[in-house]
Structure 1
Amino acid sequence: MKKYLVLQTDFGLGDGAVSAMYGVAHTVSQEIVVEDLTHDIPPYDIWSASYRLLQTVPYWPEGTVFVSVVDPGVGSERRSVAVKTTSGHYVITPDNGSLTHLELNLGIEEVRQIDEVKSRLPHSEDSHTFHGRDVYAYNGARLASGEVTFEELGSVVETTSLTVLETVPIEVKEDAVTGSIDILDIRFGSLWTNIPLEVVKEAGIHPNDTVQVTIYNKQVKIYQNSLTFVRSFAEVEIGQALVYVNSLVNIGVAVNQASFSQMYDIGIGKDWIIQIKKVGTV
């Protein structure tokens, strides 16, 4: 069975940082397979890092080790942790909120705190600004290769002590469902919400219904229109807005062959609230 180490950072590929992480991993073990989740997380954007883990982790084989480094607090008192999810995957990351979506949606079984002084790349003790290479890639490779067990990575800490970002609870009132815009389908500009398909079904909203979509930013109404809830983009004309089910089986909002987020200047996170309400049936 292959041993996978999957890397996510906000480093980009414009310099040698990611390659250095690869090098450290292969120095630990030439038997592990190192892959990329993404290195295009916006700089310091912990929220996006958290969501991209949720988007990706469940689709890798059990036992895969993920290293996620979006670390604006590198060198500070924030902890370095390794976690085991209820699905049997491992994530090594700063404890700064990057595990929020995994904890809420997938579940975290156990947390270990990594000693950044003792458990690091040999001869790197004077480096305090590249824990992605010296602590995370190093320990991720050790875990993926079997050089150490998860239990040997550090001492147990309470799951409830993990840093979590503020999220928006889903609310259902009669035939309206309210949630948040959690992330963008970056290349195509679609909005991905935190509202599961099963919730809108329970509210009596189904494909072929006409729904009123209202979007707020910090309680200011940014957008409101009646859209068709469709199964695929091909069901509407090019340039027409629509509601659909995304690849995580949550509700999405898009424009066929255009960017909804750019057209209406829509962002992501707890300040971006979306309400979907049934107003008719096609």
Structure 2
Amino acid sequence: MMTNKQLVLQTDFGLADGAVSAMYGVAKTVAPALHVADLTHEITPYNIWEASYRLYQTLNYWPVGTTFVSVVDPGVGSERKSVCALTKTGHYVITPDNGTLTHIAKFFGLKAVCKINETTSRLPHSDESHTFHGRDVYAYNGARLASGQLDFSDIGPKIDPATIVKLPLQAPIVTADSITGMVDILDVRFGSLWTNISLDALKQLNITRGDQLLVTIYHDNAEVYQAKLPFVRSFAQVALNEPLLYINSLVKVGIALNQASFAQTYQIGTGHAWKVTLRKLS
């Protein structure tokens, strides 16, 4: 069994109350020596897409065998399944089957998935609670798995990874003179836009650093922003508050202002309604 004795938690709970601490407490009660870390607890409430993306952003930088628990669960207590996935990278993810595994399945692959029995495989004496599976089901099973008390094969019946709920993913469209993608997510603290346009897509149009690109952003097909942006290596290559296009830590195109929030300045959001088109200027 691959076990690294590390448990990483992600939720939309925030830190204003005791919910996250309760999850820590359950994990430490199950396995006092277990190392518990936070991915984030600031996922926008109920935003499953964001939870999926943050796992994709982070998972592969943790050692093989690490167990992740992700709880963004607007359907808690409903008929949605609770699952544990073993990724092809050798990591475990315990989460609701509500789309949270979308990016992991697409970019890393799922080797196997087990269904968790929410009635029998849960924190002792928590039977009457049906609204805090993050504590009673996910942190409990995550700690047992990460500490080696529970083997993946014993979690529950295997289910076909192809049947896992997935949110729609759109691939960028590359034409002879342009690339159109979407704003996947924000670099929240700094307000940069992270798109789904890869560096490889830029290379298809022979776009290299130093080029000027015409960047157009649409919301529901209506143009909301257009400007010429330099494609640079780092923020420091443009003046303060000037726009730029760069390659982010996931090797995708980012759009930013140097030391200012692009998203806030231009009121740009994320998701399928927000399109970005890049054209190389001669």
Relative to the length of structure 2, the TM-score reads: 0.97
Equivalent residue of 2:157, what SS? Answer: strand
Contact 2:71 2:134 survives alignment (8 Å): yes
Q: Which moved more, 1:263-272 or 1:183-192?
A: 263-272
Deviation above 6 Å: which 4+ runs of structure 1?
none
Q: Which runs of 5+ in 1 are unaligned?
A: none
1:133-282 to 2 correspondences below 5 Å: 133-280=135-282
Residue 2 of structure 1 deviates from its aligned partner by 5.2
Equivalents in 2 of 1:139, 1:2: separation in Å?
15
CA shift digits 1:107-134 (9 cap, x unpaired): 1111111110111111111100000000
Equivalent residue of 1:154, what SS? Answer: coil
1:49-88 to 2 correspondences below 5 Å: 49-88=51-90
Equivalents in 1 of 2:272, 2:122: separation in Å?
35
Residue 262 of structure 1 deviates from its aligned partner by 0.3
Contact 2:199 2:251 survives alignment (8 Å): yes
| Aligned match of 2:99 | 97
Residue 105 of structure 1 deviates from its aligned partner by 1.2
Equivalent residue of 1:223, what SS? Answer: strand
Letter in 1 for 2:259: Q
RMSD of equivalent CA atoms = 1.0
Equivalents in 2 of 1:216, 1:58: separation in Å?
32
Residue 43 of structure 1 deviates from its aligned partner by 0.7
CA shift digits 1:83-140 (9 cap, x unpaired): 0111100000001111111111111111111110111111111100000000000000
Q: Which moved more, 1:184-193 or 1:167-176?
A: 167-176
Equivalents in 2 of 1:168, 1:214: separation in Å?
18
Contact 1:82 1:114 survives alignment (8 Å): yes
What count of residue pairs does the alignment treat as equivalent?
280
Contact 1:2 1:33 survives alignment (8 Å): no
| Aligned match of 1:110 | 112
| Aligned match of 1:129 | 131
Q: Which runs of 5+ in 2 are unaligned?
A: none
Name the % identity: 58
Equivalents in 2 of 1:83, 1:195: separation in Å?
27
Relative to the length of structure 1, the TM-score reads: 0.97
Equivalents in 1 of 2:118, 2:32: separation in Å?
24
CA shift digits 1:135-180 (9 cap, x unpaired): 0000000100001111111111111111111222211001211111
